[in-house]
Amino acid sequence: MDKEQPGDASRAQAPAYRLSFAHADGFLRVQVSGDIDAQDVRIAYWREIVATARERGERRLLVLDRKKGTPATPDELAEMAGLFSADAAHFERIAVIEPTTAFLPAMEHAEIQGRSVGINVRIFGDEANAERWLLFGTADD
């Protein structure tokens, strides 16, 4: 299922993001695409991801993020963690693939912020390791 969300008028009616959902063996795979790096866009697509996963009864998510020009700031990541903390109990594990390797250190803040509010989230640079963690985890998960 693909869903496109329209951008606001200032974005020249280009879609702000696009999500593709597919059930994989043991988790929901979500592909995020779009070129707009803005907090309101991140919040909107994460709200849709959470709602869709809950609606489908999926407790494990693999989210393949898109390449970005700018990573979210630590304050933006803290805001998102706070917004989604109430949903933490609905998910066992959330793996996020950050395709921009230069942003991996910055994205560690997302993992730290999420875990601080009870969200079992991990950031990965590749899909194979993320899938392995989703399916098997580790002793300290």
Name the amino acid, one letter, at 141.
Answer: D
Give pLDDT, residue 141.
62
CATH code of the domain in which 109 resides: 3.30.750.24
Q: Which two tokens stand for residue 82?
A: 């706070």
User: Which domain covers residue 80, as residue numbers?
Assistant: 16-136
Q: What is the pLDDT of residues 116-133, one digit of tens each?
A: 999 999 999 899 999 999
Total domain count, the chain: 1
Averaged pLDDT for residues 67-79 = 86
What pLDDT was estimated at residue 5?
A: 44
Residue 89 lies in a domain: yes
Rg for the chain (alpha carbons), in Å? 14
Angle (CA) 37-43-48 rounded to 5° is 115
Backbone angles phi, psi at 83, to 5 degrees: -65, -35
Name the nearest CA neighbour of 114 among 105, 125, 123: 123
pLDDT tens digits, residue range 50-66? Answer: 999 999 999 999 999 88
Query: Given the structure tokens 């994989």, which residue do they identify?
Result: 24
